[in-house]
Structure 1
Amino acid sequence: MLRIAVVGVGKMGLSHLSILGAHPDVTIAAMCDTSGYVLDVLAKYTGMHAASDYQKMLDAVPLDAVVIATPTKAHYPMVRAALERGLHVFCEKPLTLSSEESTALAGLAAEKGLVAQVGYHNRFVGAFAEARRLLDLGAIGRVTHATAEAYGPVVLKTKGGTWRSQRSEGGGCLYDYAAHPLDLLTWYLGTPRRVGGTHLGKIFSTATEDEVYSTLFYDDGSTAQLSVNWSDESYRKMSTRITLSGTHGRITVDRQECQVYLRDTQPAPDGYQHGWNVKYTTELTAPVWFYLRGEEYSAELDYFVRSVSGTLRDDEPTTQNSFETAAVTDRVIELLISDAEQPGSGADDALGQPARRPSAAVQRRQRLAVGSARARALLVHTVASGRARIARARSTRKAAR
């Protein structure tokens, strides 16, 4: 039996606690939270060991792994402390608020040979997984463009807010919402070379963004457009959708279904035909032992348990939702922030290499444009000042009469 502690028993933590508590190969060795009331209630009705001090729990309770579902700001120190003690880690997304920290955690986990995964649950949704399988088969040829969207009713009031609405605590709409479609783009298309035209807009929030729009550029010439808004009450709950356009067809996929259009320019994969095809999540999803909110949440935790115990099937990837892929998503988010704050700075590639400086000719044109703008402003100012002096003189003459 795998001995696991669940750290942070808010919305996601309670879900993970319920799912793992029903897993046949898991024992909940402890649960940890800063709320004494929550711990008292859970301990009373579940009999589980409750702890309010994370470090003391790690030292006192025999564990094989931890599941961390705390506010994002606390992820880095908690994950690092667990890895240093030789514990496997499943951490809720995003991994951290810094790609440098995420990369460091990925390196530490690899150095110690530990399983380290992040809760990007869409990778375990049947429809999204089918889109990835079709891409691997080359069903729509080379992807030329993608659209990644996520909308939902998270922040709908100006007053109030939670840790998710603070950039320094949860990362705002970028880290909490846009991270999901960005992770899917990483899974489907790899690492973007640069980003551009990024807009981070406020609707209700004062300390962070509520909407995110940008374009991602890839080495093979393909592009992807990102459109995210967590202040959209026209959606009852979060809705994530990816559209992939290729040389031989198109895929549009969300949690419910995978719509596929295949041109007759190459053979169709087994189970598909030229023209339109629709595969529903219900036919693409394997049953799980415990259902809560969606099969994907049980599937991702079961994948973690089997990764730790070494019982993955031969046909399953061993790095489905690793710290390494999460660090790439964190780096892309940083590029978006940089590009929004200083347009053009998002031209750095996702590996951190500097963007090329503009050519000498471009720099000369830029200087001329700035000079022209200044000259126009000076001319306007001079004319306005002259008119003001004439008006004052006329006023003085009238007063003298």
Structure 2
Amino acid sequence: MKKIRVAVIGFAHMHIQSLVKAFFQLGNKIEWVACCDIKPQHPSLSEKPSTRAYNLKAVTDLTGMIAIYDDYTRLLDACPLDLAIVCCENAFHGRVVSDLLARGIHVVVEKPMATSVTEALAMAAAAKQGGAILAVNWPSTWTPGIRLAHKLVSEGIIGDVFKFTYRNSDSQGPFSYGENLTDEEKSTQWWYHAASGGGAFWDYCCYGACLSSWFLSSPVRAAYGLRANFASPYGDAEDYGTITARFDHAVALIEGSWTTVNRGVPSGPVVFGLKGTLVTDGNTVSVFDKRHSTTPSAVYQADPLPEDRDTIAKEFISHLEKGTPLHPTLDLTVNLNAMMILDTGYRSSVSGKLEVSPGIHYAPGNL
């Protein structure tokens, strides 16, 4: 059996640890070749958990990789690769991922796909040019309850959908899970700087953008976005963001927050149809189809995902080896539509006005 030669590029996002662990669990299918971080705009003052130095050490300790490059182009020139796992700053996705794809190297990149539609379309074009596959990893993809909610909505259980809502769960920022960074240390982390693609908008509003694209199956037409900073004075990025997105026959209300002690209500998706409302709460999906009732008419429990396709690693390798379709949320169509929402919402947050979608609808073969 031919091993898949894998490199890791970028250690800015702490999700690199779970991504690499998922591929590491495939055992002898994977050959860990080399890794490289991308030079940050703001050098970190900390090596505490979830910082880039910590992430790099965790990955090299796990995989045993000893080839560590300081320039990813040198790595690419020196090492034949099949796949790269990319977790650099959000703002660098466009350049790094496009370079990899154009060389014919498959890529798994952490969400969001990019920080502009222009970058996302360049990535899609590079995938076509290089004949390579791009998958965008979303932790929400591996939540059975969300998949069950989509199935029920698609079956028409609440009728025609006119509103989709999603907000992230409890979060007080990327370093609120016991890392104990000082304020000075936080100020050097890319998460808090807009030019690096930091902020709650790209970190959390992207989930609602992806899921609304999948659930509503139509391109966004216009959006209003808002960004604010309530409790993160470490840089110029926001710690709170919202998008109101207009589709042909529905609206999506998306919220991303680094300032939420407790979510209070289910994060969702909560989907409103002409015949009822569907509420997703973890792996429990409830349907309400009677006015003024606080008791659901039906409650469904999601089954576990298929064991052979329950991680990004298993899903991607199955696609490479067997040609099984990637989950729609990992694929280009949904992610390019999600980028339309994010791009339009971000532009609106800058202009203070309703902004119209770029109106470029990706279809395979049309680039």
TM-score by length of 1: 0.72
- The code of the aligned residue for 1:123 comes to T
- The code of the aligned residue for 2:145 comes to A
Shift, 1:66, TM fit: 0.7
Q: Is 1:225 aligned to 2:253, yes or no?
A: yes
Match of 1:207 in 2: 236
Q: Decide which of 323, 336, 350 is 2:345's aligned counterpart.
A: 336
Cα separation, partners in 2 of 1:215 and 1:72, compared to 1, 3 Å: closer
Q: 3-state SS of the aligned residue for 1:252?
A: strand
**Which consecutive residues of structure 1, in runs of 5 or more, have no partner in the other structure?**
264-273, 290-297, 354-401
Distance in 2 (alpha carbons) for counterparts of 1:110 and 1:262: 45
Cα separation, partners in 2 of 1:240 and 1:158, compared to 1, 3 Å: farther
Distance in 2 (alpha carbons) for counterparts of 1:203 and 1:311: 46
Note the aligned Cα RMSD (angstroms): 3.0
Q: 3-state SS of the aligned residue for 1:241?
A: coil
Cα separation, partners in 2 of 1:195 and 1:21, compared to 1, 3 Å: same
Contact 1:39–1:50 (Cα < 8 Å) also in 2: no
Cα separation, partners in 2 of 1:192 and 1:158, compared to 1, 3 Å: farther
Q: Decide which of 138, 156, 160 is 2:156's aligned counterpart.
A: 138
Deviation track 1:119-177 (CA, whole Å, cap 9, x = no partner) reads 12312321111111122222221002222212421067976342111111123111111
Distance in 2 (alpha carbons) for counterparts of 1:215 and 1:45: 42
Match of 2:43 in 1: none
- The code of the aligned residue for 1:129 comes to R
Q: Decide which of 72, 84, 104 is 1:86's aligned counterpart.
A: 104
Match of 1:105 in 2: 123
Q: 3-state SS of the aligned residue for 1:168?
A: helix
Q: Decide which of 331, 334, 342 is 1:325's aligned counterpart.
A: 334
Shift, 1:279, TM fit: 2.7
**Which consecutive residues of structure 2, in runs of 5 or more, have no partner in the other structure?**
39-51, 177-181, 362-367
Cα separation, partners in 2 of 1:17 and 1:137, compared to 1, 3 Å: same
Q: 3-state SS of the aligned residue for 2:33?
A: strand
Q: Is 1:260 aligned to 2:290, yes or no?
A: no
Match of 1:394 in 2: none
Match of 2:36 in 1: 32
- The code of the aligned residue for 2:98 comes to R
Cα separation, partners in 2 of 1:37 and 1:188, compared to 1, 3 Å: closer
Match of 2:143 in 1: 125
Match of 2:364 in 1: none
Shift, 1:78, TM fit: 1.5
Structure with the largest fraction of helix: 1
Q: Decide which of 9, 15, 20 is 1:17's aligned counterpart.
A: 20
Contact 1:147–1:224 (Cα < 8 Å) also in 2: yes
Distance in 1 (alpha carbons) for counterparts of 2:57 and 2:144: 38
Q: Decide which of 285, 309, 321 is 2:305's aligned counterpart.
A: 285
Match of 2:191 in 1: 164
TM-score by length of 2: 0.78
- The code of the aligned residue for 2:122 comes to A
Match of 1:4 in 2: 6
Q: 3-state SS of the aligned residue for 2:6?
A: strand
Contact 2:222–2:354 (Cα < 8 Å) also in 1: no
Distance in 2 (alpha carbons) for counterparts of 1:247 and 1:57: 54
Identity %: 21
Contact 2:22–2:312 (Cα < 8 Å) also in 1: no
Q: Is 1:247 aligned to 2:251, yes or no?
A: no
Contact 1:250–1:261 (Cα < 8 Å) also in 2: yes
Alignment of 1:59-74 (within 5 A): 59-74=77-92
Shift, 1:319, TM fit: 4.5
Distance in 1 (alpha carbons) for counterparts of 2:276 and 2:159: 7
After TM superposition, the structure 1 stretch with the greater mean CA deviation from structure 2, 16-25 or 319-328, is 319-328
